[in-house]
């Protein structure tokens, strides 16, 4: 199938928002999604954006059952390693169910790698859930190392009241 991968425009945020919900639904977590398309527009299309996004688009004649032509997305941002330097982090990679198995996910992933290399990034990182075998297999087949298994890295998070408490105890300027 023909498809095109291109940088998302501000006008694509409604479609991206729809797919964020579809991805959360696959993970049985739609109640967790608090982001609106207005917030995506604000945070991704400002000076110094918090993220960048690619979308996969198919021609009108291949549109989905629901009549959409934007059928996948990859949302990423730049991070930094104090050992190695610039890195790119893939937050979400998603392709609609009826468009899977056609190389669209691989196309999006490769494009993020290419964009990262052009920015002199030396790493592409992402996180997967341990029960998500299809995703783990997909990335492993393309050469990803599992740093939690091999080096023992754990992800920690402060949010809600714990984050507020920390911030409130910051030393004065």
**Interface pick for its own copies out of 98, 127, 133, 137 (rule CB under 8 A):** 127
The residue within the footprint of its own copies, chosen from 20, 58, 70, 71 (CB under 8 A), is: 20
Residues 53 and 75: their CA atoms lie apart, in Å, by: 4
Does residue 22 belong to the site contacting its own copies (CB under 8 A)? no
Q: State the minimum distance, in angstroms, from the CB of residue 158 to its own copies.
A: 4
Q: Put the strands of the sheet holding 85-95 in their side by side order.
A: 4-7, 52-57, 70-81, 85-95
Query: Does position 78 bind its own copies by CB under 8 A?
Result: yes
The answer to whether 50 contacts its own copies (rule: CB under 8 A) is yes
Q: Which is nearer to its own copies, 63 or 165 (CB)?
A: 165
> Does residue 141 touch its own copies according to CB under 8 A?
no
Q: Is 134 in the site for its own copies (CB under 8 A)?
A: no
139 is catalytic: yes
Contact status, residue 27 vs residue 81, Cβ threshold 8 Å:
no
43 alpha carbon, distance to own chain's centre: 14
Task: Give yes or no for residue 45 binding its own copies (CB under 8 A).
Answer: no
User: Should residue 72 be labelled a site residue for its own copies when binding is judged by CB under 8 A?
Assistant: no
Sorted by sequence, the CB contacts under 8 Å of residue 71 that are 6+ apart come out as 3, 56, 57, 58, 64, 95, 96, 99, 104
Touching its own copies, residues 90-119 (CB under 8 A): 91-92, 106-107, 109-111, 113-114, 116-117
Rounded CA gap, 97 and 23, in Å?
Answer: 10
Q: Which residues are catalytic?
A: 139
């Amino acid at each position: 199938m023909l498809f095109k991968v291109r940088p998302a425009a501000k006008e694509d945020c409604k479609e991206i928002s729809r797919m964020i919900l579809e991805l959360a639904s696959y993970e049985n977590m739609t109640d967790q999604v608090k982001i609106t398309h207005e917030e995506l527009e604000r945070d991704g299309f400002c000076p110094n954006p918090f993220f960048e996004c690619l979308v996969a688009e198919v021609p009108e004649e291949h549109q989905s059952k629901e009549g959409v032509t934007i059928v996948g997305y990859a949302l990423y941002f730049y991070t930094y390693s104090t050992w190695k330097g610039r890195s790119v982090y893939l937050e979400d990679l998603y392709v609609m169910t009826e468009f899977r198995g056609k190389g669209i996910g691989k196309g999006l992933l490769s494009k993020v790698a290419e964009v990262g290399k052009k920015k002199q990034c030396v790493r592409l990182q992402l996180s997967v859930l341990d029960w998500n075998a299809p995703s783990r297999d997909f990335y492993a087949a393309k050469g990803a190392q599992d740093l939690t298994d091999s080096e023992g890295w754990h992800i920690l998070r402060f949010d809600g009241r714990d984050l507020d408490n920390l911030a409130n105890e910051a030393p004065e300027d």
